[in-house]
């Protein structure tokens, strides 16, 4: 069984996991199943030899498809990507309702996939990039890091879909091999974040996203699911919009999806989109298919999406071909 690399030793000899912002410290369990020694992610176990990685090299899902399927609209548009992931979440709420919270019994042998095989598979299938899209990357840190390193060495672009509840240490390990990040930002106040995730101390997430952009040059897009009466009021959304504009930039794409079924949630998305445009965000997308990207300066349609196909219509080196406005597109692995 492999062991965690991002670990520190406390003065009393106990091990602290440094992969996600819980920074768990556990007593080694006496029970044979070791349940009491699991971290809050439920996929890391404390033993006499170190912190075992129960999900290492295990794949929960993998698909090949357009990068736009992963809600990355300004990141290598009109390219094919291998999207994959493992088991484990950092947020307690996700562990209760998420699809990738528990490793299925008896699946370990069939689900094991070596990182080198992932990079080769992406090349064989002519995928331009590799995206970690299922489960939380921080709780599979060591495996994710190997996937990023090997994918980058084969000239694939790389991206993570993440809550950014990782530590800065984890981010800095990823940074040299990471091109893009889709931040799953759940809310922008303590009560809403705690209700939706089980986490009240959430503002470290913002620092991770900002450092990914500033320190490592990552292209960032943001996804928020709106839940009526929980995280969709103007009083909650305006600070979020302000943070996006000031910390990540007004041209940061913001993807808004209804977090609940029904007309009320859909109406929340419409109101939030109007509010975002009125307060300076340039690119705001909803859940509907076939969304265009328009130049925020001259209104020209620069990217068209239709029936699963994406076409760059008026893009010149990442700028609007009509007026040369910067469209905040990531088109090259070299920056």
Domain boundaries, the chain: 7-53, 61-288, 290-335
pLDDT at 32: 56
Distance of alpha carbon 56 from alpha carbon 59, whole angstroms: 9
Task: Convert the pLDDT of each residue in 273-301 to its tens digit.
Answer: 999 999 999 999 999 999 999 999 999 99
**Architecture, CATH, for domain 61-288:** Alpha-Beta Barrel (3.20)
Q: Using 50, 70 and 90 to split pLDDT, how confident is the model at 304?
A: very high
The mean pLDDT of the chain is 95
CB 163 within 8 A of CB 136: yes
Cβ atoms of 254 and 286 within 8 Å: the answer is no
Q: How far is CA 213 from CA 65, 187, 191, 281, in A?
A: 26, 20, 27, 17
Q: How far apart are CA 152 and CA 155, in angstroms?
A: 5
193-248: pLDDT as tens digits: 999 999 999 999 999 999 999 999 999 999 999 999 999 999 999 999 999 999 99
**pLDDT tens readout for residues 243-267:** 999 999 999 999 999 999 999 999 9
Is pLDDT of 120 > 80?
yes
pLDDT at 325 over 90: yes
Residue 272's pLDDT is 98
Q: Can you give the pLDDT at residue 1?
A: 78
Residue 68 · residue 305 · CB < 8 Å = yes
Which secondary-structure segment (H or E) carries 74? none
Banded model confidence at residue 132, pLDDT cuts 50, 70, 90: very high
What pLDDT is recorded for position 177? Answer: 98
The model's pLDDT over 138-194, given as tens digits with 9 standing for 90+, comes to: 999 999 999 999 999 999 999 999 999 999 999 999 999 999 999 999 999 999 999
The DSSP element (H or E) to which 311 belongs, if any, is strand 309-312
pLDDT digits (tens, 9 = 90+) for 19-54: 999 999 998 876 555 456 999 999 999 999 999 999
Q: So what's the pLDDT on residue 300? A: 98
CA distance 26 to 68: 40
E strands, 163-277, are 180-184, 219-226, 254-258
């Amino acid at each position: 069984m492999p062991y965690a690399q991002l670990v520190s030793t406390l003065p009393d000899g106990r091990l602290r996991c440094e992969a996600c912002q819980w920074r768990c410290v556990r007593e080694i369990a006496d029970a044979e199943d070791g349940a009491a020694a699991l971290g809050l992610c439920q996929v890391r176990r404390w033993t006499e030899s170190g912190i075992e990685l129960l999900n290492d090299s295990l794949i929960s899902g993998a698909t090949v498809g357009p990068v736009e399927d992963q809600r990355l609209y300004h990141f290598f548009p009109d390219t094919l990507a291998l999207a994959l992931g493992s088991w484990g979440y950092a947020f307690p709420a996700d562990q209760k309702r998420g699809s990738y919270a528990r490793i299925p019994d008896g699946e370990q042998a069939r689900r094991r996939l070596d990182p080198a095989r992932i990079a080769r598979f992406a090349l064989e299938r002519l995928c331009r990039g590799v995206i970690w899209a299922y489960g939380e990357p921080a709780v599979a840190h060591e495996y994710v890091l190997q996937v990023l390193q090997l994918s980058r060495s084969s000239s694939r672009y790389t991206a993570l879909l993440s809550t950014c509840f990782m530590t800065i240490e984890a981010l800095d390990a990823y940074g040299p091999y990471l091109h893009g990040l889709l931040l799953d930002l759940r809310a922008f106040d303590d009560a809403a974040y705690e209700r939706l995730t089980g986490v009240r101390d959430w503002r470290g997430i913002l620092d991770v996203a900002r450092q990914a952009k500033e320190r490592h040059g990552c292209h960032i897009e943001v996804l928020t699911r709106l839940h009526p009466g929980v995280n969709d009021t103007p009083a909650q959304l305006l600070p979020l919009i302000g943070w996006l504009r000031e910390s990540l930039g007004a041209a940061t794409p913001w993807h808004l999806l209804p977090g609940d079924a029904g007309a009320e949630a859909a109406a929340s998305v419409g109101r939030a989109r109007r509010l975002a445009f009125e307060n300076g965000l340039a690119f705001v997308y909803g859940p509907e298919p076939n969304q265009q990207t328009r130049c925020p300066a001259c209104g020209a349609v620069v990217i068209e999406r239709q029936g699963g196909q994406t076409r760059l219509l008026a893009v010149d080196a990442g700028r609007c071909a009509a007026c040369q406005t910067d469209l905040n597109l990531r088109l090259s692995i070299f920056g």
